[in-house]
Structure 1
């Protein structure tokens, strides 16, 4: 796995922890998923999609009263 992908994943985790969900989501979907697809990293794709689902859930929860 690329060290750049690992670093971007950690940045996305930090952004999520800080509540910057939109930016974390952008990094995961626009930066990481394509890299993992090119590398054929099926497990990493599944983990990243799980993180995307978590962020979407938190984002929806944050918007509802």
Structure 2
């Protein structure tokens, strides 16, 4: 699960209000890019089919060493 509290608090401690504004803008831009890459142009277009959680995806296993 993605949590935004920690980056916001860290940016507040490091750069104050401007830091919070910057981190929230970065998160917004990343979200908009993710939407575009998934073919969604609005929040209403995001469906459960677009969301993959740790319970949905099989756990990645390291490749065996040869």
- TM category, shorter: 0.3 to 0.5
Return the index of the structure with the highest Cα Rg: 2
TM-score by length of 2: 0.46
